[in-house]
A and B are shown apart, each in its own frame.
Chain A
Amino acid sequence: MEPENRISNKALTVWRISGIIGCSITWIIVIAVLVLTILFDWPYWIIGALSIISIIQSYLSIFLMPLVKWKRWRYEVRNTDIDIQSGILVIKRTLIPMVRVQHVETKQGPLLRKYDLASVEISTAATMHVIPALDLAEADELRRYISRMASVEEEDV
């Protein structure tokens, strides 16, 4: 029994873009090493190994990982608890009872804003949990719902 809601499928695009940004740094290094190799006659295996590594990294961080991560990401907010599932190789499920929630907030970075998304951060007294990339309206609704449910029963820490 997995939690039923998926996160927005625009999250896939956002993760791919941030993957591309991450990879471009590696590729700049590869180009720099290539220039150095030509200028100073460095052995060719260094540039060979580097480009293979960056090709694999690009494939993983732009294509494979966002897809697997998106497929795994599920959440469900019931009236007594919040159920979150995430992970790539290791699947992690977290249960947070409503009464333990201390505050909820929504956040938007520049990338998320461009795609009209927001992440929801749920804090208890000791831990913090994030649902990344929900549609803005859905995120706002969720924040309102959780904070309303959480304030119903107030207990000591």
Chain B
Amino acid sequence: MSEPKRLHPIAVLLNILKSIKELVLPFMLVIFIPGRNEGIPGWVQPLAVSIIVLFLIVRAFLQWLRFTYRIEDGEFRIESGVFVRKKRYIKLDRIHSIDISEGIIQQMFRLVKVNIETAGGTQADAVLSAINKSDAERINAFISVEKNNKVCDPSGMEQEGWAGKEETMIAPSVYKQTLPQLVFMAATSGAVGVFLSGAIAFISQFDEIIPFGRIFKNYEDFIGMGTVILTSFAITGLLAVYVLATLSMVIKYASFTVMKTEEELIISRGLLEKRQLTIPVHKIQGIRIIENLVRKPLGFATVYLEYAGGSVEDKESLTIMLFPFIKKKHLHGTLGEILPDYQTMTEMTPIPKRALSRYFFRKAAFIIPIIGVLSWVFRPWGFLSLLLLPLGILWAYMQYRDAGWNIDGDLLLLSSRLFSKQTLIMQRSRIQSISFKRSWFQSRKELATISASIKSGVHSRVGVVTDVAENDCQAIESWYVPKKAVDTQ
């Protein structure tokens, strides 16, 4: 593969689409802002637009022409750039993972998009926007051969053992998400909120362009219809948004599959845009279980992977779902198949009873001033804010109940709740540092806040549990840094 290769010509189209995507807002402003183009002849606007479009097409073509990739001397080499020539050489053994995805256009031409990720992540990684599937597989094979040559020194070979390797080759563990599960997951995901706020933000952008006032004036009868019909309209609207949001989630995560080979997890998903992520198991730093308000009572959870990789530009590579929707009972068994290192019963040691009053106190410290201000400023309706008090008490109690920790062999589990319950499972050898914090109030009750950091993506993920008993903290400390080792060495 040492001869330079170009992308599939369809990449020209992809380049054009990409620049149109970037230009869409300025374009809209030029075309739609009324009252600006007086005095300018009518033919200027179409001419300007067509010149810009022509320029985009030529640039996209040149970009495609200049973009070549090849594998040479153990390096992945990309040369690109129209005005500024860029040469990016990536050492093959520095490549962390390969992410293969298919957009709608790629699917039509049986092509794939390949993202090559390296360590570090802050740097832009290599993206091949459209190549043949067979080419992608050849690159993949080439890279993994190269990496295995480097990684598998004889000692490593013996440790892993050939037998185990063959066994996993024959029967790779597979985890699949069924359609009903996905629909249920999407329905309980809270994606509606994101969808709604997005819609509201979008509409408020056009507040001044769309004459809401005029529309509503003409429809005074409409308002006259009474609150019953209005409410039913609102509810129907909300329902429609909810269904749309759910559908878009289902499409995004359709046919979700996790496959395990000897050293890698391969996660694939998507209907319109297919994505495939390859994650080396030894880069996995921890596992995060999220149980939101709706799913927790039903016994379901979402499981995320924390891993040292991914790039800043590609947000999705930073939070990776391992199991979008799983019954918590089944988690133990499924983890055992996919990631045996992290197999654990998620039973937590609760924090002591004396911590409960601290949880109430902390909520009261900011809820009571809010109630005070609201009641004072918006009398008499402000007194409704007193309802926040029972809500705050409930919230504090739930946070207290869900806070906990556990040590299971080489694993540390920390759980806490902000809104959703989060359980972080970390291996001892992956925890970068542990801190204990005590305020004066806490030390009076012999409590401390514990936090443990692991590397995740480009930054870190910190698990925090507030008000753990002090002797429990000492247990965690001596588990993390065994004191005996100090004497013997």
Q: Which residue of A lies closest to B308 (CB)?
A: A157
- Are the CB atoms of B436 and A78 closer together than 8 Å? no
| A156–B432 alpha-carbon span in the complex (Å) | 12
- Are the CB atoms of B480 and A92 closer together than 8 Å? no
A-B contact pairs, 25 of them (CB 8 A): A78-B486, A80-B481, A80-B485, A91-B437, A91-B438, A91-B439, A92-B436, A93-B435, A93-B436, A93-B437, A94-B436, A95-B434, A95-B435, A95-B477, A95-B480, A96-B432, A97-B433, A97-B480, A100-B433, A126-B432, A127-B453, A129-B433, A157-B283, A157-B285, A157-B308
Minimum distance in angstroms from B179 CB to a CB of chain A: 37
- Are the CB atoms of A94 and B435 closer together than 8 Å? yes
- A141 interface hit (Cβ, 8 Å): no
Please give, as numbers and ranges, the residues of chain B lying within 8 Å of A94 by CB-CB distance: 433-436
Give residues of chain A (61-82) contacting chain B, Cβ–Cβ below 8 Å: 78-81
- Are the CB atoms of A97 and B481 closer together than 8 Å? yes
- A57 interface hit (Cβ, 8 Å): no
- Are the CB atoms of A100 and B435 closer together than 8 Å? no
- Known contacts A126-B432, A127-B460, A155-B429; A89 and B455 CB within 8 A of each other: no
- B440 interface hit (Cβ, 8 Å): yes
- Are the CB atoms of B480 and A127 closer together than 8 Å? no
- Are the CB atoms of B435 and A156 closer together than 8 Å? no
How would residues 109 to 137 of chain A score, 1 for a CB under 8 Å from any chain B CB and 0 otherwise? 00000000000000011110100000000
- A28 interface hit (Cβ, 8 Å): no
- B489 interface hit (Cβ, 8 Å): yes
Please give, as numbers and ranges, the residues of chain A lying within 8 Å of B455 by CB-CB distance: 125-126, 157
- A3 interface hit (Cβ, 8 Å): no
Selected contact of B432 from candidates A80, A87, A91, A125, CB within 8 Å: A125
Please give, as numbers and ranges, the residues of chain B lying within 8 Å of A155 by CB-CB distance: 429
| A156–B119 alpha-carbon span in the complex (Å) | 12
* Given A80-B489, A126-B456, 17 extra CB contacts under 8 A: A81-B481, A89-B440, A91-B443, A92-B437, A93-B436, A95-B434, A95-B481, A96-B433, A124-B432, A124-B453, A126-B432, A126-B433, A126-B454, A126-B459, A127-B453, A127-B460, A155-B429
A contact residues vs B (CB 8 Å cutoff)? 78-81, 87, 89-97, 99-100, 124-127, 129, 155-157
| A90–B432 alpha-carbon span in the complex (Å) | 22
Residues of B in contact (CB 8 Å), total 30
| A157–B459 alpha-carbon span in the complex (Å) | 13
Selected contact of A90 from candidates B429, B437, B486, CB within 8 Å: B437
Selected contact of A124 from candidates B285, B429, B433, B438, CB within 8 Å: B433
Give the tally of cross-chain contacts (CB within 8 A).
Answer: 71
Q: Which residue of B lies closest to A152 (CB)?
A: B489
Please give, as numbers and ranges, the residues of chain B lying within 8 Å of A95 by CB-CB distance: 433-435, 477, 480-481
| A89–B440 alpha-carbon span in the complex (Å) | 7
Give residues of chain B (406-460) contacting chain A, Cβ–Cβ below 8 Å: 429-440, 443, 453-456, 459-460
- Known contacts A79-B489, A80-B486, A80-B489; A127 and B432 CB within 8 A of each other: yes
Please give, as numbers and ranges, the residues of chain B lying within 8 Å of A78 by CB-CB distance: 486
Minimum distance in angstroms from A69 CB to a CB of chain B: 15
The residue among A78, A156, A157 with the most chain B CB atoms within 10 A of its own CB is A157
- B282 interface hit (Cβ, 8 Å): yes
Please give, as numbers and ranges, the residues of chain A lying within 8 Å of B489 by CB-CB distance: 79-80
- Are the CB atoms of B282 and A156 closer together than 8 Å? yes
| A124–B433 alpha-carbon span in the complex (Å) | 8
How would residues 458 to 472 of chain B score, 1 for a CB under 8 Å from any chain A CB and 0 otherwise? 011100000000000
Please give, as numbers and ranges, the residues of chain B lying within 8 Å of A81 by CB-CB distance: 481
- Are the CB atoms of B432 and A100 closer together than 8 Å? yes
The residue among B431, B433, B443, B477 with the most chain A CB atoms within 10 A of its own CB is B433
Minimum distance in angstroms from B488 CB to a CB of chain A: 10
| A77–B440 alpha-carbon span in the complex (Å) | 26
| A120–B486 alpha-carbon span in the complex (Å) | 23
| A156–B477 alpha-carbon span in the complex (Å) | 22
| A155–B456 alpha-carbon span in the complex (Å) | 17
Counting from the closest, the 6 A-B pairs by CB-CB distance are: A126-B460, A124-B432, A126-B455, A94-B435, A126-B432, A125-B455
Please give, as numbers and ranges, the residues of chain A lying within 8 Å of B429 by CB-CB distance: 99, 155
| A99–B431 alpha-carbon span in the complex (Å) | 11
How would residues 262 to 287 of chain B score, 1 for a CB under 8 Å from any chain A CB and 0 otherwise? 00000000000000000000110100
- Are the CB atoms of A126 and B437 closer together than 8 Å? no
- Known contacts A126-B460, A157-B285, A157-B308; A92 and B453 CB within 8 A of each other: no
Minimum distance in angstroms from B291 CB to a CB of chain A: 25
Please give, as numbers and ranges, the residues of chain B lying within 8 Å of A124 by CB-CB distance: 432-433, 453
Please give, as numbers and ranges, the residues of chain B lying within 8 Å of A90 by CB-CB distance: 437-439
- Known contacts A155-B429, A157-B308; A89 and B439 CB within 8 A of each other: yes
Minimum distance in angstroms from A117 CB to a CB of chain B: 24
| A100–B431 alpha-carbon span in the complex (Å) | 8
Please give, as numbers and ranges, the residues of chain A lying within 8 Å of B440 by CB-CB distance: 89
Minimum distance in angstroms from A123 CB to a CB of chain B: 10
Please give, as numbers and ranges, the residues of chain B lying within 8 Å of A80 by CB-CB distance: 481, 485-486, 489
- Known contacts A94-B434, A100-B432, A157-B283; A79 and B480 CB within 8 A of each other: no
| A93–B308 alpha-carbon span in the complex (Å) | 26
